[in-house]
């Protein structure tokens, strides 16, 4: 099945996006990405140090990956825009994941400031994928502002609690004309498959892979789950029945009193 995700002018075959923020060793990043043929990887701009060969995370990312710098650390739209421009000037390309978080307790994204940053950067030619609290109206405003996709959280970042926002994500998938990519909170491959069965364009996972006992195989498990969930969505899931059971084989024609 030739099923690819298209964002801007790029075709993406692996719908698992991977974050790099929590790996205990940088060398694991390359192993994880190459073993699962990951197409899109995100990295915090503040972790990019071209002057240091040991500390520069970019040296551990395969050249054929789509690099999506994120604006982690930005507390408002102005800071996010400045970080995105710095990333582009440093040679990181024009893809950017907008993160605007001023809440230090729950780390929830500020949708209003995210919309402002998205509008500015989209007008400058960036391919903008904003991280957001799931909300249909905010999603529509992000699309109007020029977002190439929207990235609602599944649960608070780093919690591994799964798709707690399932119904809101389902509505966004049904109503928005751009890919919906669940980002944050997914802890198990089965939860990634659930997102894909809803019709999400992709998922982004970091913590659940990076802190596992075997990040390489955990990434492979998530990649397989994403592919299976997408295949199920494309095949058409069977509808749920009512409260009564339905026999899978006819019960008439062979039982006699």
Please state, for a pLDDT cut of 70, what percent of the chain lies above it: 89
What is the number of other CB atoms lying within 10 angstroms of the CB of residue 6?
A: 11
pLDDT in tens, 181-215: 999 999 999 999 999 999 999 999 999 998 999 99
State the pairing for strand pair 10-12/5-7.
antiparallel
> What residue segments make up the domains of the chain, in order of their start?
10-235
Dihedral sign of CA atoms 33, 154, 171, 146 in order: negative
CB 136 within 8 A of CB 147: no
Q: Is the pLDDT of residue 51 over 80?
A: no
pLDDT in tens, 15-43: 999 988 878 777 788 888 888 889 999 98
Task: Report the alpha-carbon distance of residue 220 to residue 217 in Å, rounded.
Answer: 5
User: Which comes out higher in pLDDT, residue 44 or 60?
Assistant: 44
The contacts of residue 158 (CB under 8 Å, 6+ apart) are: 22, 107, 184, 185, 207
116 among known catalytic residues? no
Least confident of 41-50, 91-100, 169-178, 242-251: 242-251
pLDDT in tens, 136-174: 999 999 999 999 999 999 999 888 899 999 999 999 999
pLDDT number for residue 57: 73
User: Which comes out higher in pLDDT, residue 243 or 173?
Assistant: 173
DSSP secondary structure letter of residue 240: P
pLDDT number for residue 26: 75
Q: Is the pLDDT of residue 224 over 70?
A: yes
Give the CA count within 13 Å in the CB-facing half-sphere of 63: 0
Residue 99 Cα to chain centre, angstroms: 13
Q: Name residue 160's beta-bridge partners.
A: none
- Mean pLDDT (the chain) is 89
In order of 79, 191, 246, 255, the CA distances from 251 in angstroms are 67, 36, 10, 7
pLDDT number for residue 244: 67
Q: Domain 10-235 belongs to what architecture? A: Alpha-Beta Barrel (3.20)
pTM, 2 dp:
0.89
Cα angle for residues 107, 151, 43 (degrees, 5° grid): 70
pLDDT number for residue 52: 59
Q: Is the pLDDT of residue 53 over 60?
A: no
Please state, for a pLDDT cut of 90, what percent of the chain lies above it: 64
Q: Which of 26, 97, 105, 116 is catalytic?
A: 97
């Amino acid at each position: 099945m030739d099923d690819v995700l298209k964002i801007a002018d790029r075709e993406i075959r692996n719908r698992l996006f991977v974050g790099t923020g929590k790996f205990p060793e940088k060398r694991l990043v390359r192993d994880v990405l190459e073993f699962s043929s990951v197409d899109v990887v995100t990295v915090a701009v503040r972790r990019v140090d071209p002057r240091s060969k040991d500390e520069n995370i970019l040296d551990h990312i395969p050249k054929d990956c789509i690099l999506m710098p994120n604006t982690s650390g930005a507390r408002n739209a102005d800071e996010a825009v400045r970080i995105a421009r710095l990333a582009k000037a440093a040679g990181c390309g024009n893809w950017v994941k907008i993160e605007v978080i001023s809440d230090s307790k729950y780390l929830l994204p500020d949708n209003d400031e995210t919309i402002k940053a998205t509008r500015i950067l989209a007008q400058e030619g960036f391919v903008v994928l904003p991280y957001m609290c799931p909300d249909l109206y905010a999603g529509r405003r992000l699309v109007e502002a020029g977002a190439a996709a929207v990235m609602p959280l599944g649960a608070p970042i780093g919690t591994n609690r799964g798709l707690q926002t399932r119904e809101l994500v389902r509505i966004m998938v049904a109503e928005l004309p751009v890919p919906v990519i669940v980002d944050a909170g997914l802890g198990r491959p089965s939860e990634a498959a659930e997102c894909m069965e809803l019709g999400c364009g992709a998922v982004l996972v970091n913590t659940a892979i990076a802190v596992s006992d075997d990040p390489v195989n955990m990434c492979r498990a998530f990649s397989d789950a994403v592919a299976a969930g997408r295949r199920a969505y494309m095949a058409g899931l069977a509808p749920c029945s009512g409260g009564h059971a339905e026999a899978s084989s006819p019960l008439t024609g062979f039982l006699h009193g």
